[in-house]
Amino acid sequence: MRSLSIGATGMLAQQLNVEVISNNIANMNTTAYQRRRAEFQDLLYQNQRRVGSASSDTGTIVPVGVQVGLGVKTAAVYRITEAGNLTLTENTLDLAINGNGYFQVTLPSGETAYTRAGSFQLDSEGTIVTADGFQVNPGITVPDNTIDITVNSSGEVLATIDGQVAQSNLGQIQLASFSNQAGLLAIGDNLYLETAASGGPTTGNPDSTGFGSIQQGFLETSNVNVVEEITNLITAQRAYEMNSKVIETSDEMMQQMTQVT
């Protein structure tokens, strides 16, 4: 009975859907988190009467045919790259990207990772790093006698040093962009890696053509819409229940058939 396996594929699909939604809700307060959406496709069809086949020797054609579907499968879990809102923190090294682009981070392996979570800090040597101590590219070191740090909209890091009137330019933060942002590989810790699907990075200064500007003292919030996620969760739950009802009904039909024979 096909309906048993079809209902099972539907339950598995909705289980994954709930898992994706629950991950979105769990990360509703994660800095710069980008919500995910599960996408599904129908499975192969069994042709009991092929559409377009000849129905007689006079050349008449079957206009519709008989195709029986075999269920559903997961096609992708798509990452929605819509930017979140900016929230004021007034922390000197909290940086938000207002527009397109990713900060570049050097991992311990030497690989370059990408992130929009700009909650940066200084390590023991005064280098700007992430919360995990990974260096933000290019490596910018703040002198010990620095009184204040300013990061302007174009990514220049300016320091007010004790005893100096003019600000010192410590370096330039550059951003990276990709033709297919959804193709980046998420590795956790708000970091992404380049893949063949994302294409290679294009780098440039903030506030230039194709790149967003830097907002100091702000962080980008998650783009999760809680009301929408709760609605999707209820819909997925109802779909799961209906698929389980299909299996229950099919089982009852088989029991009745067994009793008849």
Write down the pTM of the prediction. Answer: 0.85
177: nearest Cα among 198, 191, 157, 156: 198
Mean pLDDT of all residues belonging to the chain: 92
> Cβ contacts of residue 207 below 8 Å, gap of 6+?
153, 154, 155, 213, 214
Mean pLDDT along residues 203-221 = 94
What sign does the dihedral 31-214-119-77 (CA atoms) show?
Answer: positive
* Pair 105, 138: CB distance under 8 Å: no
- How confident is the model over 53-92, as pLDDT tens digits? 887 888 888 888 888 888 999 999 999 999 999 999 989 9
**188 bridge partner residues:** 191
Q: Distance between CA atoms of 98 and 116, rounded to whole angstroms?
A: 10
- pLDDT for 54 equals 83
Domain boundaries, the chain: 2-81+224-260, 86-220
- pLDDT for 245 equals 94
- How confident is the model over 118-128, as pLDDT tens digits? 999 999 999 99
Q: Distance between CA atoms of 190 and 192, rounded to whole angstroms?
A: 7
- pLDDT for 258 equals 81
- pLDDT for 56 equals 80
Instruction: Using pLDDT thresholds of 50, 70 and 90, give the confidence band for residue 261.
Output: low
Instruction: Using pLDDT thresholds of 50, 70 and 90, give the confidence band for residue 6.
Output: very high
Mean pLDDT along residues 216-222 = 95
Instruction: Using pLDDT thresholds of 50, 70 and 90, give the confidence band for residue 163.
Output: confident
